[in-house]
Amino acid sequence: MDGLNFKSRTEYLGSIFRLIEQFELISRTDLAKLSGLAPATITNLTKLLIDHRFVLERTTQASTSRGRPAVGLAVSPLYWKLLSVVISESQLTLSLSELDDTLLAEQHYFLDLNLPLAEWISNKILTFKQAHCEPDQPLLAVSISVRGKIDPSKTAIIQLGSTPLHCPIVETLAPQLECPLLLNEHFQLWLLTESTKGSLIRHHNAIFLELSEQIRLSVLVKGELLHKRAKMNVDKMLMPPFSELSEQIYPELPPIERYQLHNQISLSALLRLIDRHLPNSHTTSGAKIDFFCQQVQQQNANALRILNHLSQNLAYMLMNLTNLFSVEKIMLNSPFSAIKNVLFEQVSHHLQQHLLGEDRVVDLVESQYEKEDGLIPNMAIKQQIYAGTLFNGVNL
């Protein structure tokens, strides 16, 4: 094939698939122009993709034209299926979708960390697969996204939320599957999804921030992520004591630790403030956060003090990074979506007070994806397709 070796052939297949997906419907002539490959090479590569049912041909014809309809290529929804899994501290979400990301089935389960987790999750995945996957429509891959931490070998879950554990999910599930199994942390996949397909794709300088048990942050500079495989570590950034609340969260710690960012606005830190100033009988972090948001909406004075503590600390941290990287947009993903308008308003106000240059304006936006959106785990599979890696498993 024009002298292409096997490795470069799979890489070219991935690149061509990505172009077809990006343009939704595109001709071979345009593929040749955009890829820089010879028309004969494009013909051979697209034939492989069609034969293995990754793409299909569609005819298009404008109403005013006559003669033979034009033929374009599109991602095929008729064969390969993608199974995505999102695991959090309290919930398991399973989603089945077509190769073009059309959702076919979805199921949510409450998760109990006291269960033998690897076996329980594995059974739920296999049961879901049997119920919704047709025998003649095989899975291309299974992607598991963990709202917590995984081990360096990417085979086991070692933390969900604030709970440390050992869940050898790959070792348990992989022998029962006939397709690749991908395990990743949710933040990295969310970041990849937003920077590849999300609303900030056209912005060259942006901050992606996830506020949860950890403060996860990455920066897009000149269209490239600074940390493609790891988050930027801001946990130990020292915060000013904005109010007496800063002192109350971890009074037992020495000041050098007490005022570190993760001891001021991590989920654990905020839950300490909520329990102290908004007494409640809730037993889960999600219920406590919901209760806090309700109190903010009801203008409870103590809830508003906690909100101001959160926004002051967020703004101070973001101010330093915004000035450093000339950021245009900040995307915040947090459990406080119920009060996002007032939170964003306060953070924006504090930011504008401290930004360099009076004409600087930085917009805060919310992720367009839900926390359990199956498109986020799917991105791990798509990246393997774009790189050509998954084509090795289907004998192209």
- pLDDT per position as a tens digit, 213-263: 888 888 888 767 776 555 678 889 999 999 999 999 999 999 899 999 999
Same domain, 110 and 230: no
Which range marks the domain in which residue 148 is found? 81-192+372-393
Q: How many helices (H) does the chain have, and how many strands (E)?
A: 14, 15
Same domain, 273 and 360: yes
Distances (CA, A) of 155 to 52, 107, 152, 174, 320: 29, 24, 8, 10, 36
Same domain, 228 and 356: yes
**Token pair recorded at residue 63:** 């109403």
**pLDDT attached to residue 64:** 47
| Count of the separate structural domains present in the chain | 3
**pLDDT attached to residue 63:** 44
In a domain, 169, yes or no: yes
Q: Give pairs for 272-279: CB < 8 Å, separation 24+.
A: 272/248, 273/245, 273/248, 273/249, 273/306, 273/309, 274/306, 276/248, 277/302, 277/303, 277/305, 277/306, 278/302, 278/303, 278/306
In a domain, 198, yes or no: no
Q: In the predicted model, is pLDDT for residue 68 greater than 70?
A: no
Same domain, 71 and 158: no
Same domain, 335 and 210: yes
Q: In the predicted model, is pLDDT for residue 374 greater than 70?
A: yes
User: CB-based contacts of 206: which residues, under 8 Å, 6+ apart?
Assistant: 200, 219, 220, 327, 328, 329, 330, 331
**Token pair recorded at residue 130:** 């049997």
**pLDDT attached to residue 329:** 85
**Token pair recorded at residue 181:** 């199994």
In a domain, 351, yes or no: yes
Instruction: List the CATH number of the domain containing 311.
Output: 3.30.420.40
Q: Smallest Cα–Cα separation from 196: which of 391, 388, 394, 385?
A: 385
**pLDDT attached to residue 293:** 96
In a domain, 380, yes or no: yes
- Dmax over CA atoms of the chain, in Å, equals 81
Same domain, 57 and 145: no
Q: Binning pLDDT at 50, 70 and 90, where does residue 198 land?
A: low
**pLDDT attached to residue 172:** 96
Which of 66-80, 194-208, 310-324 comes out lowest in average pLDDT? 194-208
Mean pLDDT over 292-308 rounds to: 97
Mean pLDDT over 353-370 rounds to: 74
**pLDDT attached to residue 231:** 66
Strand order in the sheet with 157-160: 148-150, 157-160, 163-167
In a domain, 197, yes or no: no
Which pTM value belongs to this model? 0.83
In a domain, 1, yes or no: no
Q: Binning pLDDT at 50, 70 and 90, where does residue 114 land?
A: confident
Question: Which range is most confident: 110-114, 162-166, 306-310?
Answer: 306-310
